Structure 1
Amino acid sequence: MAVRAGTRQRARAHGLTALLLACLWCVPAWAGEFTISGDGSGYSNRDLANDPTLVCAACVPAPPPENDTPLFDLDWSLGLRGSVTEGDGTTRYEVLALPSLSLKQQTVRGGYDLSVGGELSKTADGEARIDALDAEVGGTYELDSVTTLAGRGTLSISQDDPRSGTDYASNVASAPIVVTGTGEASVTRDLGLFDVELRSKAARTGYGNTVYDDASTTDNSFQNTTSYGVGGRVGVKVTPGLTAFVDGDATADQYDAASPSLGVKLDGTTYEARAGLNFKLRETLELEGSAGLAYRDFKDAGVEDFTAAIYGAKVVFVPDETVSLTGELTTTVSAPGTTASASGKVEYAATGSAAVQVNPWLRLRAKAGWSYSETIGADSTEQTASAGAGADYLLSAMTDLTADYTYTRSLTGTGTETDEHVVALGVTFHR
């Protein structure tokens, strides 16, 4: 019996010793020094004291492979409209088809997108027209945490309605088809206090013939151009949300043929420089304003160079997911078009839009616009103002009823005025 009692005492001593060692080992944890992943030494080795939910606590987590993401995020819509247009003493009835399709993919380092859309119309007397047909592909790639590459290509086909506005004579039966292809590439880098962007672009524009009521035509190939350009922007972060910037562009234009009225090609280079401020408050508010100068340098000495003041502004306000307000002011220096003796065109345009989601099934929209253009080398100006409102009513998860009204007034420098009212009703099917 004495032997057994001694054995029990020694066992108790060994148990107390083990318990004491265990408590001493736990003291760092009680003091807040122990981490579940360990510090890599002694009994605190990561793989000896790892989180049981991890396969290997010492392994560095790897980003998810790109092929685990969905192949594409697909969206599509098809709008069908019936419209009535009143203006210049006439009434026109049209049916329109507005198809669109977009594919997007997000990757670990960026994203890619492809979209196509258009506006096709047919009048009551059977005249069909491609008002617009657009395709666009682009993407971004984060080279590292501070450098982003971006590229975008577009192809557009459009044809104006010669009976709308004041751009065409009254005897024009069919406006020319315009085909434009563009390609752009850019790289941006965050240098801490500074943001730097470098960009390049190339474009090609081709014009078809103008057709008149007597079936005669006019060749517009003298407006065909090939353009190349480079530009850059440097921003200085004044405060966390405010950035001061300078921006510059140089674009060279090459024409296929000489201007019929001037007898020379209007080849030349347009230089633009501006300075401004940009303020951004997360995704809720963005404000931007800039001003500068544009200078058009013609290659032919017989064509007079010109300068123009350029202005830009942008407002984006999205306080929540139900309200969106946007506004923009732009300046465009472009080709003169078909105006005789003209060498260029400067246009100032302001647009604004608002959208409110009243409830889950009703969305209200409003828009307004103004533009003023001056043709260089010819006494020709034009002003246009427009305003409109619309609504979308959700019939089902994939069907909306739509209603729109737009009023447009155009005034030329010669005193010609046109007023146009457009009412459109239809349905939109969408994903």
Structure 2
Amino acid sequence: MHEIFAQCPRVGRWDDADLAKTQLIFVTLASNVDLTRKEMVNIPQKHIGVYHSGKVYHYSNTADQVTSESPESFLAKFQALYAGNQGLFYGWIPGENLLLDVQAEPRSVSADKKFELPDPVDGRWKARLVGEPDFFLVGKEVNDAARKYHGIFMPGASYWGEIYRAEEYRPSLRTWATLLEVTGACESENHFNLVNTYDRAKFTFGFYQLAAHTPQDNLILMFHRLAELPDFNGYFPELELRGGRLFRVDSDGGATDLEQEFTASNGERQIMLFMNYLNPQRVPIDRQEVLQAARLIHWTQHDPAARLAQVRTAADILQRKMSARYARKLPLDGKSDVICAIVADIFHQGRSTFAAVKPLLSSANPVEALLKVNDAAWSGRNNRLRAAIKVAKDQGRLGQKHYSAATNEFV
């Protein structure tokens, strides 16, 4: 129950609650609650209910059923049962403030960056920033029940917008810039604005396809960088970086930590509130996920600083994983930049395991062996990777250096 209390967008003493609002109600020792820090000490003597229209609905262990009573009776009951002076507190229902009031015609919206989001035509969603003349393509709907794909994506024939080019970033990123470009070619044809919302991550964006579901990794890290830019509040007025964590903040003071971690049904740790803020529900496709995609697409297309934030995030992830994971699990020290580029792509996509890849590094032709990893399932990806590697080698941007594990650099 203390964990639920911490997840509430807003908490306070019951005397200050809005009695017209459906909300949670908590009873516990008054001194066990720190409202400023939104913390409740985890002790056995605490109870929770749901307040609605003047009644508190809660589970009674004694009666083994849900019962209802007034807030005053609820407090009196537990004052008699529990030791010490009990306090009554309210909490807004966790996640309730993740839903935005998204309008097709948003001229009354208070955000600096307002987007028109007309109904889709033939499943294609478009958006336009209020005041600009042209609409732009956000994505096309996909509904594939067999593969559990529900959301929007950018069809390959409709790709548009700014493209990541390694040469523009080589002065600062050196060989890493090319490794990013090689994987970017496979993920998005290196389009900065590529989005998909149809799979288990619920939202994935950018040339490196940064996913929303992973804690302290991928898309949430890009949002940390975006939050440092002047236009962040214009595009995402309901977000705020507090103490290095991203919060959804209401105009009336409620706040939800979007980086709280939860365990998914498959055992994976996920930041579900961040996922749900970007894409509230898998089915049906709704305007909120389209709006979030439109915001990122427009910002990325028009602001080099937003593109740089994306590049820096991807580079940090690649460099960190090369040093902390790949080079520790595999004998990469002294291996060519080509081999490292292939290894990085394999594990970025997740199409093999360290146990399967390790013996390939000592094979007669490791490059060819790595380019055929899990080929039965991923021949298309492997072929795109092969083509991207060839282009980089032909241009002299790969095939010249080797990886040094000691410095996490190519020398």
Instruction: Tell me which interval the TM-score lies in, with the shorter structure as reference length.
Output: under 0.3
TM-score normalised per structure 1: 0.23
The structure with more strand, counted as a fraction of residues? 1
TM-score normalised per structure 2: 0.24
The structure with more helix, counted as a fraction of residues? 2
Structure ID, larger Rg: 1
